[in-house]
Amino acid sequence: MATFLLGAIHGVFGIVQFHSFGDKDPLVSLLTSNRNFGSLADFPFQQLGLVALVILFLMAVTSHDFWLRNLTPPVWKKLHMLVYVAYAALIGHITLGLLQSETSPWLAAGTGASLLTVVGLHLLAARQESRVDARKFQPLPDGFVDACALHSIPEKCAAVVSLSGERIAIFKFDGKVSAISNVCRHQNGPLGEGRIIDGCVTCPWHGYQYLPENGASPPPFTEKVSTFQTQIRDGRVWVNPAPHPPGTRLEPSRIPAGEAAQ
């Protein structure tokens, strides 16, 4: 919302300053005053800003949970993934706007370096996440899978594994281990990147909470996520990838006394 408001203020100021003193409607003037789409040096960067502003507007007006419920989470998420389109349009808007009015090579180099840094960080993050999904696990006859080492899970935090196409967050807390779905029911936030606070798994995006034993939000809240059976064998955490219905209580696995300090 704040990003959209800042963009709207900037857009209104730009339209008033550059398109409000002619005989055309300001919006028509914005869209038609420059049509050099085939020229990089004269590309109509203002239209890129308008595209970004429209997307930010759609994201702002649908940011309330009312729209999340009525659009359904998959549709809502696809709509809000347009933030990357808005980001690319803003980069083009700012970069072309600067480079068409300034000739400093340092400005061009700095803009390019910033772009490469942001793109590079996104690619590194995507590569790291793809490794989580690419790991292959061989289940035992009883259905359990060797998910991770117990000592690799920080206290009151989680290790995230991808089993049978679903990401599972394995939390270690108070000498116990529980596993729940990694996807927050609010806006699909990554629960495994959160912490256990006041006895509840707390989503790092908006603070929604779930009890690790049953995946249910404490009353009066009603959100629930799936739970998964766990076992601890020889310092390893084993998980059955078959999900239990959201809100199903499963007894946490107790960490043996000799392994608790490891």
Q: What's the pTM?
A: 0.71
- Predicted confidence (pLDDT) at residue 261 exceeds the cutoff of 60: no
Whether CATH 2.102.10.10 fits 145-260? yes
In a 13 Å sphere around the CA of 80, the CA atoms on its Cβ side amount to 19
pLDDT band, residue 258 (cuts 50/70/90): low
The proportion of the chain whose per-residue pLDDT surpasses 90, expressed as a percent, equals 50
Residues 94-107 have pLDDT tens digits of 888 877 777 777 87
**pLDDT attached to residue 131:** 77
The three state secondary structure string of the chain is CHHHHHHHHHHHHHHHHHHCCCCCCHHHHHHHCCCCCCCCCCCCHHHHHHHHHHHHHHHHHCCCHHHHHHHCHHHHHHHHCCHHHHHHHHHHHHHHHHHCCCCCHHHHHHHHHHHHHHHHHHHHHHHHHHHHHHCCCCCCCCCCEEEEEHHHCCCCCEEEEEECCEEEEEEEECCEEEEEECECCCCCCEHHHCEEECCEEECCCCCCEECCCCCECCCCCCCECCEECEEEECCEEEECCCCECCCCCCCCEECCHHHHCC
- Predicted confidence (pLDDT) at residue 119 exceeds the cutoff of 90: no
- Predicted confidence (pLDDT) at residue 171 exceeds the cutoff of 80: yes
Every domain of the chain with CATH number 2.102.10.10 lies at 145-260
**pLDDT attached to residue 260:** 56
